[in-house]
Amino acid sequence: MSNAPDRAVPFSGLTRLDHVGIACRDLDAAVEFYRSTYGFEVEHEEVNEEQGVREAMLRINGTDDGGATYLQLLEPTRPDSPVGKFLERNGEGVHHIAFGTGDVAASAAEVGGRGVRVLDAAPRRGTAGSQIVFLHPKDCGGVLTELVQSTR
Ligand code: CMX
Ligand code: CO
């Protein structure tokens, strides 16, 4: 078996796993769990009102050149937000995965051209000034999927 990319399929530009998003009811408690259980530290914390989240990014591995991998802990700022609705339906747990790209608009256009619904007509502001789009979970095997072009 070869791991070489299949050139019959156009390259999506997605090169790595940037983060796994986890829905929690209490951000501070979740941060403390990951700190005391695994030793992961918060690298960045912010409120993103457009996405309706208070969030913390915990670096798992990698370096400052844009290659690091994170856990994104997400507490809703309001019950009718995506994470608020998810918690109501499912309780706490894995909410989404995010693939990294150097050009999120180009990657979204590529993937969208293959019949996957891109939820954002234009990239929105994500963590720490990154640019993000989401793909519909129903077109991705039940996995809410984010594409992210980070400034890190
Ligand atoms: N993972 C998998 N499936 C999900 C899901 C998730 N996180 N969230 C919703 N779904 C499924 C539901 O189970 C439901 O399935 P059924 O139709 O089989 O019951 C379906 O999608 C519709 O769910 P809903 O509760 O009615 O929610 P909406 O359609 O209103 O919204 C979605 C779903 C994905 C369009 C919305 O959550 C969204 O736009 N998400 C993107 C934005 C986001 O999640 N922001 C927070 C993170 C910010 C960040 O990472 O920076
Ligand atoms: Co995310």
Nearest Cα residue to atom 46 of ligand 1: 51
Ligand 1 close to Cβ of residue 21 (< 6 A): yes
What's residue 144's pLDDT?
A: 98
Q: Is the pLDDT of residue 31 over 80?
A: yes
Q: Is the pLDDT of residue 126 over 60?
A: yes
Q: Which ligand lies nearest to the CA atom of residue 54 in the structure? A: 1
Q: How far apart are CA 146 and CA 14, in angstroms?
A: 11
Q: Looking at the DSSP assignment, which residues form a beta bridge with residue 46?
A: 55
Strands 69-76 and 14-23: what pairing? parallel
Q: Report yes or no: 54 and 26 within 8 Å, Cβ to Cβ.
A: no
What's residue 8's pLDDT?
A: 61
* 4 against 100, higher pLDDT: 100
Domains of the chain with bracketed CATH = 20-149 (3.10.180.10)
What's residue 26's pLDDT?
A: 98
From the list 89, 110, 91, 92, the residue with the least C-alpha distance to 101 is 110
Ligand 1 close to Cβ of residue 75 (< 6 A): no
